[in-house]
Each structure stands twice: as structure tokens, then as C-alpha cells.
Chain A
Amino acid sequence: MVWFYLSSGLFLGWSLGANDAANVFGTAVATRMLRFTLAASVAAFFVILGAVISGAGPAHTYSKLGAVNALGGSFTVALAAALTVAWMTKTGLPVSTTQAIVGAIVGWDLFVGLPIDRPTLTKILATWVASPVLTALFALLGVYLARALIYRVRIHLLDLDLYTRMGLLFIAAFGAYSLGANNIANVMGVFVGSNPFRDITAFGVLHLSRTQVLFLIGGIAIAVGILTYSHRVIRTVGNEILKLSPLDAWIVVAAESLVLFIFASRSLQHLLMQLHLPTLPLVPVSSSQAVVGGVIGIGLAKGGGRALNLGVIRRIVWGWVITPVTAGLLSFFGLFFMQNVFQQQVYRPMVYTVDAETLAELRRLGIQSPVLDSLRGHTIVGARSWQHLLKEAGLSGDQILKVLEYTEVDSLVMDSLLAQEALPPDLFPPAFLRPVKALHGQLFLHHWQLERALARLSPAWQFRPATLENQEYNKALRARYQILFDTFQVDRVREFRRRFVLRYPRM
């Protein structure tokens, strides 16, 4: 079954490759500086490298899809996002795959009856504005700088051609590597917990962990997307908005990479912090939207934008708006079909209990209400009715989210053998694995209880104070917790034990 579910992740990977290839080498191919076959092969190779080497690191495996609590649901949500991106790719519009995924998850939230958190929507809106504006600004400056340089530095026309070509190839490789590293979690992240693969060692030296094998397959899906279906979006980005010169092509991708590096990279923040310099604000940026901004910036620098094809730009912006909306709708209706027609579980029913322990915990967070106290010992089924009750009790939106999180019942049974077998050792080194095993046999009703128990056993499992320095660590820890929640579901543990008994009948 997991293979079937995996197919929608692979489809998403393919769409991602087909759409996002244009951000990486679209302008280079459209200006005929790089041959499509060369650029696409280089990008395909580096996308796989990025996915396998950097993507499988603990901080990268956190996937947004992880919030979806049943594989059937993840399948549908990923499929909705993939279909949306594939449709946009067919129309030749560069769109952000992440936003398609977020839109599809919102569809799932609505289907299940969970509240949508406002920051998600604000972030999407902010990305639409921030990425193109910042990149346009950088590209604009780039054009003036390049003009001044060509005039002053005596560089041979052919040398300039060669350097531009090499610069484009370098950025294509570099961009493809980060594309693979940053997006593989969206494609394959959900399956890390139910990974059907084993570690492999090729030629006696090349060792791939099972997570890396999983990501290799996902990386190949992205690479296939790049090689087979990226030409439409490339034409839009590189030719239709504005006719670019080779140097412009380079300025666009350089501006895009710079914006991503300066405003979205944690490593730069780290470096600035270590040098005791003020850090820059992290802005949500998307490379698909950045590259369009870059081309517009060039257009503005040359002739004040008269050469820009406004019709195409309008279509692209429409595509940005349509993407999350369509993905959300597709996901919502897809889940309906999946559940009612194909009889698949798309979410684990949300059950909430108000037990004494949780009440105490909530009180510590400053949330208390006579209604909550009066419900002590009660179980509520369904997110919608629980939300309704809480709203009537007069709790604020943030408080309701917290109460939902803390009272949610998710029966987890710890099992040391399953831990040994299912948790990928590259993500769970001994410092993390030992405390998990130590909890063998214990039952947890709420996620926060497992977090509390592990944090008590080992400092490695404790979230660190939310400073920039600790961001990476906390993100990796969040990913680990998510894998635990998936792995130690009571059903899954039962299934594992049943098979274990079949495998070793005498034990």
C-alpha cells in the first residue's frame, strides 16, 4: 500500500521539477546561452545530489505534510498539490510548489474541521509581494552595475560570453542543489516514518541510508520532471515576459540566488550572529516568484518597463493566486471522494479529552475557564464541535489552538523493537534513540506527554530557547517528534507486533 501512496509523492516531485527548473536555468536556456540538454542534465544531477546529501539531514526532513495524520490523507493532499502544479506547468506559469502544498493542507484542515492559522495565509500573501519586489530591486541594480562595468573594464566580447555562460552553468548547478535539498521533504518527507526501503551499499564504498534511498527516488522524480516537461515554463520566464540578453539572464538568476541567500538562508544569519553583526529579517521568499521579479527588474532598468509584456505578467500573478486556492479545493473534494467513494481513511478522527493532567498543563500556560473545568473527564469527538464549545467558553483564537493541541488524543505505544527497526539511524543517533527505547511499554494519550517524558530523560530531546542560533536544532527536533508520532501509533505498533510474532513464532 505504501508504494501506492508513494506514487503521489513522486508525481508531486515530477511537477516540482517541471515547474521549478525554470527558476534554475530558464533564462540561460531561453537566451540560448546553454543548450537545454546540457542545462537540464546538470540540473537533474545536482537536484539528486542535493536531495540525497543535504535533504536527508535532520533539519530538512520536516515536511509540512506531516500535519496530515493519515497516509490516505497525505496521498490526497500531495496529489491535489501535484495536480495543481502540473496544470500550472502545462499553462506555462511559474508557481510556488510550497504554496500549492500549503493550500492543499488548508483544504485538509477544512475537511477535518481544524481551524486555519492566520500566519500561514499572511505568509503566502507576504511571499507574493516580497519575493518579486526584492528580486526586481536587485536585478535593477545589477543592470546598472553591469552597464558601468562593461563600459569601464575592458573585457573582450568573447570572454564576457564565456564568463556569462560559466556563471549560468554554475548557478544552474548550485540552484538545482538547493532546490533538491529544500524541496525533497515536501515530496518524500511524509514517508520517512513508513519508509519501505533498506540501507544500501553500492560498490562497497557508497553507503546510502534508507532515508537517503527514499530521497534518491524522490530526487529522481524531480530530475525526470526537469528533463521531460520544463520547457513551457522556461519559455514564459525567459522569453515571454521580456526578451532577455545573455547578461540579463545571468543578472536575473544571480539576483534570485542573492535574495534567497540573504533573506531566506539560516546559514547567513548564523554567520552574522557569530560576527556580532545585526541580522537581517527572514522574509518568506519563493524562487518561482523571485525569478519573475528578476525579469521585471531588468525590464524596468531598460526603458522603464515599456518592453515588459504586461499580459503575461498578469497571467503569472493570477497563477500565483489560483495555485493555493485550486490546490485547497482539489484537496477538499479529493478527500471527500477518497473517504466516501474509495473508503480510505484520510484522517484519524480527532478525539479530545480533558483530563486532570492536561488541565493542569493548560493552567500552567495561563489558559483556564470554568467550561474547561466542568468538562473534566469528558471526551469530545470531532474538531468542529470542540472548537464550537471552546468558542462559546469565550477563549481567544490562540487559546483555542493551544487547547486543541493539548487535549488531542493520539494513542501512542512505545516499543523498543519497533524503535530499533523503524527509526532511521541517521536521524536518530544513540543520544536520541536510547531515551525512546527506555520508554518501552509506556502509553501516551497526548503528544505533549511524550515530549515531556522524553525531555525529562535526555537534554537532547528538549527544545532550546527560540533564538536564531537554535532554530536549526529545534526544526530538526520537530521533525524527529513528528516521525515518533507517526511511528508509535497504537495500530502500527499492534501490526508490527503481530508480524513480529509471525516472523519469530517461538519467541
Chain B
Amino acid sequence: MFQLFKKTRELENKIDAFLDTILQAALEYREGMKYYLAGKMEDFEKRVQEVDRLEGKADGLRREIENTIYAQMLLPEARGDVLALLENSDDVLNALADSLVEFSVEKPEILPEHKEDWQNLVEVSLKAVEEMVAAVRAYFKDIAAVKNHIAGIMFYEKESDKVGEKLKRQVFGRTDLRLSHKMHLRNFVSFIQDLADRAEDVGDRLSIYVIKRLV
């Protein structure tokens, strides 16, 4: 009996640790992008490595959680939902890591006058990711709070769309840039916007899962 309680507590801690890892990766991403925009490439590379490490850690945790849930036949009904939720959250983390690596490999040339907008884009997209983590956590612990967090995700995703569009218009509105440069930058705007889009996908799924739990 005591063992059962202990095992459940362990699993709960693992889920928390998994979500913490995503949150931590988002923080590292924010710092990393600050360095990139400031041209401090050495510090930036350190963050890239750190996010990569966090991604590996999260993958391990996710697999452990999934194995435990299946092996011990926990949550017979919500099992599928929980798994989808964990995997989609993990996808967001993967997208964080991938886009940082792209920055590190392709080193897109950011114009100084756009820096503030880039900073802004990163900020709102990460906000969406953070809201997503909070929403997933609430799904497990505090079902009443999920709605608020989902509203947060939707808000920041829209913001990210707006800021991204503005940035793209500025880039493509200039005559002094080669088309290849413009397209290169457009790709990177999309990478960052993609973070918020993926967070929104998780939010959409969550709103259904919540109904399922409450009905």
C-alpha cells in the first residue's frame, strides 16, 4: 500500500521534472537569443549546448513516464490523452532546440534596426510556451486553472503572429537587401513563430481533454 503511494508520488515528480525541463529550456533560449542579437557568439553557443542537453533529458523523462503509465496500467481512460500531451509538449522543446541550432549553423544576419522586433518576437513566442507548460501542469493538478492558461497561450500566439508579420513586412519592404537575404530572414521568423504555433496546438488539445475529464 505504502509502495503504491510512493510510486505515484515518484511519477508525479517525474511529470513535474519533465515540465520544468521545458520551462528551463525556454529560459535558456531567451538568454541565448539575447546573446545572439548582441553578437556574443561564444555565450550563445553555450546556451545552444545547454538547450540540447535539456532536450535529451526531457526525452529520457518522457519515456520513463510513458513506460510507467503503461506498465502499471495507470489512467486507463486518460492514458492516451496524457501521452499525446507529453509528446506534443516534447515537440515544442524539440522545436526550441532545433531553431537554436539553425541560428548557430546558418547565422542569419540581423539588421541592427530590427533587433528590437526580433527580441519582441522571441519574447511573445516564449510567453506562449510558458503558458503552455503552466496549462499542462494545471491539467494534472488544478483542472479549474487550465482555461486561464489556454487563454494566455491563444493571446501570445496571436501576438507572435502580429509581431512576426510586422517584421516580415519590414524586411521585404526594403530595397537595399538581396532577395536571398530577405528569404533567409523570413525562414527564421517562421522558426520562432512556430514555437507559439506548436504551443497553441497543445492548448487546443488540452481544451478537449479538460472537457473529457469534467464530463
Q: Report the Cα distance A161→B74, complex, angstroms.
A: 7
**A397: min CB distance to chain B, Å:** 53
Report if B77 contacts A (CB, 8 A).
yes
Query: Does the CB pair A158–B140 fall under 8 Å?
Result: yes
Given A156-B12, A162-B8, A302-B215, CB of A150 within 8 Å of CB of B77: no
Report if A246 contacts B (CB, 8 A).
yes
Residues of B within 8 A of A147 (CB): 214
**B207: min CB distance to chain A, Å:** 15
Report if A364 contacts B (CB, 8 A).
no
Q: Report the Cα distance A246→B4, complex, angstroms.
A: 18
Q: Report the Cα distance A246→B79, complex, angstroms.
A: 12
Residues of A within 8 A of B38 (CB): none
Within B72-111, the residues touching A (CB, 8 Å) are 73-78, 82
Partner of A32, one of B76, B140, B214: B76
Q: 6 interchain pairs (CB within 8 A)?
A: A152-B144, A154-B142, A157-B78, A157-B82, A158-B8, A158-B12
Report if B141 contacts A (CB, 8 A).
yes
Within A1-55, the residues touching B (CB, 8 Å) are 31-33, 35
Binding site for A on B (CB under 8 A): 4-5, 8, 11-12, 15, 73-78, 82, 139-144, 213-215
Residues of B within 8 A of A159 (CB): 8, 12
Query: Does the CB pair B73–A35 fall under 8 Å?
Result: yes
Report if A245 contacts B (CB, 8 A).
yes
Report if A342 contacts B (CB, 8 A).
no
Category for how many chain A residues contact B: 20 to 34
Residues of A within 8 A of B77 (CB): 31-32, 245-246
**B215: min CB distance to chain A, Å:** 6
Report if A504 contacts B (CB, 8 A).
no
Within A242-287, the residues touching B (CB, 8 Å) are 245-246
Residues of B within 8 A of A203 (CB): none
Residues of B within 8 A of A32 (CB): 73, 76-77
Residues of B within 8 A of A166 (CB): 4
Query: Does the CB pair B73–A150 fall under 8 Å?
Result: no
Q: Report the Cα distance A159→B143, complex, angstroms.
A: 13
**A39: min CB distance to chain B, Å:** 13
Residues of A within 8 A of B74 (CB): 158, 161
Partner of A151, one of B82, B141, B143: B143
**A13: min CB distance to chain B, Å:** 31
> Chain B CB within 10 Å — which of A152, A155, A157, A246 has the most?
A157
